[in-house]
Structure 1
Amino acid sequence: MTTVSVPTPTTGAPRRYVVADLGGTTLRIGGTAEGTDRVEAVRRMATEGLDRHRGLSTQDLQDRVVEQLTRELEAYLAGPEGAGASAVGVSFAGPMTKDGTVLAGPTLWGGPAAPLPITDILNRRLAVPVVVANDITAAAWRYASAEPDPFCLITISSGIGHKVFRKGEVLIADSGHGGEIGHWRVDPRADAVLCECGGRGHLGGIASGRGVLAAARRAAAADPEGFSRSALATSAHRSPDGITNEDLARAVRADDAFATRVLRDCLLPLAMAVNCVFTAIGVRRYLFIGGFALAVGPRFISLLGDELSRLGCFGLGEEEIRAMLALGAADDDHCLLGMARMLAEMLPAAAGSGGEV
C-alpha cells in the first residue's frame, strides 16, 4: 500500500475551474474560483447509468456514462459559466489506478466492464487539462485542512466508499485498491443480498441508500401489518414498491418505529466496518457524507452510535465511541469543492496526465 500526499493549497492569482461529480444517481457540474468555498452555476442531471437503464449491458452503460460526462463538460466549457476555465476536475464514483484508469463502476454500470482510461479520454476531448480522482479522495480535500487528527471519510449514498487520511496522506495502492469498504463482504451466506457489482453480502448492498431502500421494501412486503402502521405506508400509497429514500429519511427523522428498525438492522454491518477500521489502525474520527446519511441527519449518527456502542470498541468507553462519529457539511458540494482544491495544488504536475491522487 502506498500513500499519496494531501498538500496545503498554494496561494496566487485566482484561477477558474470547472468541476464535476459523477455519482451513481446524479451528475453535477459547476464553476468555481481558486481559493473560494463555493460552487456556482451548478447543473444537475440524472446519470445515464444503471439507475436509469437497468436493462442494458454493463458495457453499454459504461459507454452511455462516458458519453454523457464528455458531452456535458464540453457544453459547460462552451457556455458562459465555463468561460475562462483553466482546468477541469472530475470526481468519479469508482476505484482508479494511479494513471487514471477506472477499474469498476458498480453504482454506475454494475458488474465487470472494460477498464476505462477516463483521464486520457477526457484530455483528448476537452480543450483544457483534466484531473480525475476517486470521489472520496476528492471529497477529503474539503476536510483535510480542518481535521488535525487522522480521520476516515465515509460516504453513504448510492453506494458506500471510504478513505483513511493520516498526517496529510491518503492510504491507497497505485493499482487502485483501497477505499472501497462498501465491497467488504459482511454477510457470507450464499443467498446474501446482491451488490450492484455482482457480489453478494457486500456492505454497500446492505447499508447504502439503495441498500436500505431495498431492505425497507422487503420488510414492508414481509410484514404488511407493521408496514400499515408506519408513516411509510401513507407516503408510499400502501405499496412497498412506492417507498422512496426521501420517505425513509423523513420517517426515521420522525422516529417512526418501522423505518427506524429497518435502518438499525442495516447499520449494524456499518458499525462493524467502523469497528474493524478502528481496531486495525486506531483511527478515532469518522466523518459521514453522502445523500442518504445527510438526509437522515443527526439521527443517522445517533443510531449508528447505538450499534457501535453495543459492539464496543476495544479500550474505549461509550462516550468515547460516540464522540468518534460526526456528519460532514450538510450540502452536496463535498466532491466539487474538494476537486477545486486538488486542482489548485496538483495541476502544475498533473496537467495533461491526470490520474488518481
Structure 2
Amino acid sequence: MTATPLATGASRTFVVADLGGTTLRVGRIAAGADSAEAVRRVPTEGLGRYRGLSARTLQDRVVDQLTRELAAYLCSPGGEEASAVGVSFAGPMTKDGTVLAGPTLWGGAAAPLPITDILTRRLGVPVVVANDITAAAWRYAAAEPDPFCLITISSGIGHKVFRNGEVLISDSGHGGEIGHWRVDPAEDAMPCECGGRGHLGAMASGRGVLLAARRAAAGDPAGFGRSALADAAGGDPAGITNEDLARAVRADDPFATEVLRACLVPLAQAVNCVFTAIGVRRYLFIGGFAVAVGHRFVTLLGDELTRLGCFGLGDEEIRAMLSLGAADDDHCLIGIARMLDRTLPAPASAGGGA
C-alpha cells in the first residue's frame, strides 16, 4: 500500500503484535521508537501445536488468542492507553485487511477472515493488520534509498518488494508469496503446509531444511555419524533441531553445510527470477533460521547464485546484492509501528492492512 506521511506524535503509543506460525509476540512501542517494550512471547495456538484440529477450529483459536493478548496490552501498568493496534500476520491479505490464507497458522482451506474488522470490533481502537513481510519492509524503508526485496526464512518463506514508498502487491493481496512458487513439479514433491507440493517454502524454509537434514541423516548414517549433528541429536536423525543445524553450519560442518547448500538452490533460483524480471539489486534476508545461520547463509546462497549467474552482472556484483537484515526478531513489531504512524489519518480512526 502507498503511505501518506503524517506528522508523528511523541505521545502516541501503539500495541503491536507479530503473529507467526510458531510464536505470537506482543508489545508496546512509542511512535518513532526503534524498539518495542515489554514484549511477551507465547506459542501460537495454531497448526504447530494442534495438527489434528480442523483449519476452521485452528482459525478460531488463533483469533481468540490474538484478541486476548492484544487486549491485555491496551492499557499500560502506568495507565497509558494505546492509540492504536498494529498486527503483522503470516499470510496473504487483501488491502482492506482480510486474510486469504494462513498456511503456517491453520494449514488447509478456510474461509477468508476479515481480521481487521474483527479486531476493531473486539478491541474498540483503530487497528491496522498487514502481511508480516509487508510490515517488516517498513522497518527498512527509510534506510534503503533504492528498491529492495525483503525475504524471510523462518517456518515459511515470504517476500516483498518495496519501491517508491510502497510495497508491490495488488489490492486483492496477490504478490509477495514467493514461498508458494512451485519449484519442483514432481507429483511426489515435498508437501507444503498450504496443501500444495514442491513449493519453495517446503524446501528452503527453516522447517524445510530441518526435514531435509533429518532425511539426509537417515539416508547416510555414516556421514551423519561424522557430523556434529549426530552428537547434538544423540545419534537419532529425528532429534536434529534447527538450532543444531544452524550451529553446525556456522561451524562449517561438512554434512550440515551440504544439506543447506542443496536447499538453497531453489532459493537462489527465486532470487534470480526476481532480479531478471524486475531488476531489483538489493535483497535483505530476515527470519529466525536465516539469522541463526548468520553470514554463512548469504555466503552459501551467494555461491549458488553466482553458479546460476544473473544476466548482466559479475560475481562480485551478484554477491553484493545479498545481505542479512538486523540480527533480531523485531522486524515486524518495529515495521508495523512505523506503518501505523504513517498510515493512520488520526489516532481515533480505524484502518486496514495489506
TM tier, smaller: over 0.9
Q: Who is 1:75 aligned against?
A: 72
C-alpha distance after superposition, 1:91-148 (max 9, x if no partner): 0000001111100000111111111110011001003211100100100111001000
Deviation at 1:267?
Answer: 0.3
Check whether the contact 1:87–1:130 (CA below 8 A) recurs between aligned residues: yes
- Give the counterpart letter for 2:12 in structure 1: R
Deviation at 1:11?
Answer: 3.3
Q: Who is 2:84 aligned against?
A: 87
Q: Who is 1:297 aligned against?
A: 294
Equivalent residue in structure 1 for 2:176, among 179, 201, 205: 179
Check whether the contact 1:130–1:354 (CA below 8 A) recurs between aligned residues: yes
State the alpha-carbon separation in 1 of the partners of residues 251 and 5 from structure 2.
41
Equivalent residue in structure 2 for 1:119, among 116, 120, 123: 116
Q: Who is 1:59 aligned against?
A: 56
- Give the counterpart letter for 1:51 in structure 2: G
Give the secondary-structure state (helix, strand or coil) at the position aligned to 1:5.
Answer: coil
Give the secondary-structure state (helix, strand or coil) at the position aligned to 2:182.
Answer: coil
Q: Who is 1:205 aligned against?
A: 202
Equivalent residue in structure 2 for 1:315, among 312, 315, 318: 312
Q: Who is 1:109 aligned against?
A: 106
Instruction: Say yes or no: does 1:42 pair with 2:44.
Output: no
Q: Who is 2:18 aligned against?
A: 21
Q: Who is 2:234 aligned against?
A: 237
Give the secondary-structure state (helix, strand or coil) at the position aligned to 2:145.
Answer: coil
Q: Who is 2:141 aligned against?
A: 144
Check whether the contact 1:16–1:85 (CA below 8 A) recurs between aligned residues: yes
Deviation at 1:76?
Answer: 2.1
- Give the counterpart letter for 2:331 in structure 1: H
Check whether the contact 2:6–2:345 (CA below 8 A) recurs between aligned residues: no
- Out of 213-222 and 305-314, give the one that drifted further: 213-222
State the alpha-carbon separation in 2 of the partners of residues 212 and 33 from structure 1.
37
| TM-score, normalising length: structure 1 | 0.96
State the alpha-carbon separation in 1 of the partners of residues 29 and 250 from structure 2.
33
Give the secondary-structure state (helix, strand or coil) at the position aligned to 2:173.
Answer: coil
Give the secondary-structure state (helix, strand or coil) at the position aligned to 1:132.
Answer: strand
Instruction: Say yes or no: does 1:135 pair with 2:129.
Output: no
- Give the counterpart letter for 2:146 in structure 1: D
Give the secondary-structure state (helix, strand or coil) at the position aligned to 1:158.
Answer: coil
Deviation at 1:5?
Answer: 1.7
- Gapped runs of 5+ residues in structure 2? none
Instruction: Say yes or no: does 1:248 pair with 2:254.
Output: no
State the alpha-carbon separation in 2 of the partners of residues 53 and 243 from structure 1.
21
- Give the counterpart letter for 2:259 in structure 1: V
Deviation at 1:79?
Answer: 5.0
- Gapped runs of 5+ residues in structure 1? none
Structure 1 vs Structure 2 CA RMSD: 1.4
Residue identity over aligned pairs, in percent, reads 79
Instruction: Say yes or no: does 1:275 pair with 2:272.
Output: yes
- Give the counterpart letter for 2:158 in structure 1: G
Label 1:265 to 1:154 Cα distance change in 2 as closer, same or farther (>3 A): same
State the alpha-carbon separation in 2 of the partners of residues 131 and 257 from structure 1.
45
Deviation at 1:82?
Answer: 7.7
Equivalent residue in structure 2 for 1:98, among 91, 95, 103: 95
Deviation at 1:303?
Answer: 0.2
State the alpha-carbon separation in 1 of the partners of residues 55 and 292 from structure 2.
30
Equivalent residue in structure 2 for 1:338, among 327, 335, 338: 335
- Give the counterpart letter for 1:303 in structure 2: L
Deviation at 1:349?
Answer: 6.6
